[in-house]
Structure 1
Amino acid sequence: MSRAADALLLLSFGGPERPEDVMPFLENVTRGRGVPRERLEEVAEHYLHFGGVSPINRLNRDIIAAVEAELATAGIDLPVYFGNRNWAPMVEDTVAGMAADGVRSALVFPTSAWGGYSGCLQYHEDIARARAAFGDGAPDLIKLRQYFDHPLLIETFADAIRAAQQELPAERRDGARLVFTAHSIPVAADATGGPPFDGGRLYSRQVAEAARLCAAATGFTDYDLVWQSRSGPPQVPWLEPDIVYHLDDLSGKNIDAVIVCPVGFVSDHLEVIWDLDNEAKEKAAELGMAFARAATPGTDRRFAQLVVELIGEHLDGREQRYLGDVSGFGCTTNGRPCAEGCCALPARPR
């Protein structure tokens, strides 16, 4: 096999692992955005509800262990490193450690399957910032492609939907409504998308395509796509409807059971646990609605196999596998965008 990389970097969002980390972490997440202190304190309560610990770092370490096992099975000798945007291990420190270990070129797997600014371009910015912080001699970093419609991802979500349906009372399973959720973003941010996308909407189109593929794989001909985890001032429009309000609407239509699939998330990190397993589940109980939430794919072996397939595409020219009809982008080196304007950062509303 022709080697074109010395290592793999798993690049993620990051999360606090102690109560005293929570506010500094949130300040990192919102740096430069002018978010009021009271809003940070409100979000901090979500973390403190769980002891000030986000599960995301632990889940990412579990993914890394699974990827290492799959790499060994595939006979690929690549050390795996871990770096974050917002909390330790910070990507700048990780890249410095990679350089010290003699890594000259590394593939980068982001824990986001999507295009758009937050889902893609911001990871390119992380790569560029980490290399700039190290300076001359920084390893080349090649971000792997978007994978929102990879067959293994869709297959894993489909099995999770089936398993969640079996958790519902037997008499309500057949009439249960399938509801997909993803992280909401400002409407203005979703409006970017570059030349291939008339009117933009790269992110929401990809999410809708993943939802369509998962529904088809599980035999659901009718389903809903809604959003969660919005933040920011109320005068700024975000993608809607929110999952909690949507449950009210479904109850008004005499729906008495829901299967919620967080198709926009790789792992059960804090926003999934808070917004779905707490707020949405409590709303469903208030409405007398049976509620089951599908698992995210990160802990499934097939997710690690997906990562290794993406590595194989780069190292030995393995053919790309995808199921959908909506474009995706990648691979690119050292923080360059995937395509002209595809994930541009929109002007911030004032």
Structure 2
Amino acid sequence: MNGFDSIVLIGYGAPDKAEDVPEFLRMVSKGFSIPETRIKEVESHYAEVGGGSPLNALTQRQGEAMRKFLKEQGVDLPVYMAMRNWHPFTDDTIAEMSRRGHGKCAALIMALHQCDTSWERYQREVEEAKANAGTDIEFLYCPPLFDNPLFIENCADRVSEQIAGLPGGRLSDSAKLIFTAHSIPLEMPGSDTYEKQFRKTCELTARKLGADDFLVAWQSRSGSPAQKWFEPDICDVIEGFDKEVSHIVVQPIGFVCDHVEVLYDIGVEAAHAARKAGIEMLVAKTVNDDAKFARAMGEAVLALIGK
């Protein structure tokens, strides 16, 4: 296996409980002051989706499912999690890996589309954590899975489940398909690559579905209103439909698992916009820990380690 002795899943991280939201926000803001009103607002979002985020638990399950697949292929490597903004933090994970004597690691960044904040920043944080731990573990990265055939098939499966619930069981002029991804600032390094990869994911999934007509939208923007981010927002798209549109299928295809951006921004905010517009909205699940996505992850590792 060319010396590989470990695997790490690198992600954003999220609090498991509502009471951890203030500390999580301080981590996200890197210590900058956050207005109490904003903390209360975010706490209410978490409360509406059950009190905590499933992101960390789902990432762990993705790792377990991937490891199961790899064992079936004759590869048995320990799988770690390293999170930017919550436990297990990247610093802590890499320090633990160093203590256990690891020397070469296959890394999967749990983001589909590449820009500075979703890719290179994670890599910089790994290097910083290595320096903090005084270790020279070599981390080699799997490519993003935005166009992986198994991932695309998995996404199409999720959408098909919801299309079956449309009138006549199909898309039409009155039943639209919308794909979403997290919006980012236009000026962010790599934003053009991020957009191209997102659109490629949408095109491949639509092709797999045999859907000629679909829309792309963005979600979850934050920051200064004066800063330009990718548009249109999913809620604006919904509000802009004419009366002919009665149903929509929305897939947050830019995310590999459920978390607050999926459960609240789509499941609550976009759902409210749809109800207000008199539209029935069906949400296609993210891939989460589905066996097909676990296999896609595992095959990416196998290709990297030369197995």
Q: What TM-score do you get using the length of structure 1 for normalisation? A: 0.83
For residue 109 of structure 1, what is the amino acid of its counterpart? L
Please identify runs of 4+ aligned residues in structure 1 that moved more than 6 A.
none
What's the secondary structure of 1:268's corresponding residue?
A: coil
8 Å contact kept, 2:49–2:264 = no
Is 1:262 aligned with 2:252?
yes
For residue 272 of structure 1, what is the amino acid of its counterpart? V
1: distance between equivalents of 2:12 and 2:299? 22
2: distance between equivalents of 1:114 and 1:172? 29
Deviation (angstroms), 1:138: 3.7
Deviation (angstroms), 1:145: 1.2
8 Å contact kept, 2:181–2:253 = yes
1: distance between equivalents of 2:32 and 2:175? 40
Partner of 2:128: 129
Residue of structure 1 aligned with 2:281, choices 262, 282, 291: 291
Residue of structure 2 aligned with 1:311, choices 265, 289, 301: 301
Partner of 1:225: 216
Partner of 1:343: none
Residue of structure 1 aligned with 2:138, choices 123, 137, 140: 140
Residue of structure 1 aligned with 2:237, choices 238, 246, 249: 246
8 Å contact kept, 2:21–2:42 = no
CA distance 1:162–1:31, change in 2 (3 Å):
same
Deviation (angstroms), 1:253: 5.4
For residue 53 of structure 2, what is the amino acid of its counterpart? S
Deviation (angstroms), 1:35: 5.5
Which deviations, in whole Å up to 9, do the C-alpha atoms of 1:79-138 show, x marking residues without a partner?
111111101111111111111112111111111011111221111122112111101x34
For residue 227 of structure 1, what is the amino acid of its counterpart? W
Partner of 1:10: 9
For residue 224 of structure 1, what is the amino acid of its counterpart? L
Residue of structure 2 aligned with 1:149, choices 147, 150, 158: 147
2: distance between equivalents of 1:235 and 1:77? 50
CA RMSD of aligned residues (A): 1.8
Deviation (angstroms), 1:4: 3.0
Identity in percent: 34
Partner of 1:213: 204
Partner of 2:268: 278
2: distance between equivalents of 1:186 and 1:32? 22
What's the secondary structure of 1:39's corresponding residue?
A: helix
Partner of 1:329: none
2: distance between equivalents of 1:101 and 1:275? 40
8 Å contact kept, 1:169–1:290 = no
Which deviations, in whole Å up to 9, do the C-alpha atoms of 1:277-328 show, x marking residues without a partner?
11111221222212111111122101110111111111117xxxxxxxxxxx
What's the secondary structure of 1:188's corresponding residue?
A: coil
User: Structure 2: where are the runs of 5+ without partners?
Assistant: none
Which deviations, in whole Å up to 9, do the C-alpha atoms of 1:229-278 show, x marking residues without a partner?
0001111111111111110112x252111110111000011110001111
8 Å contact kept, 1:179–1:224 = yes
What's the secondary structure of 1:167's corresponding residue?
A: coil
Is 1:117 aligned with 2:116?
yes
What's the secondary structure of 1:267's corresponding residue?
A: coil
8 Å contact kept, 2:152–2:201 = yes
Q: How many residues align?
A: 306
For residue 160 of structure 1, what is the amino acid of its counterpart? R
For residue 115 of structure 2, what is the amino acid of its counterpart? G
1: distance between equivalents of 2:224 and 2:43? 17
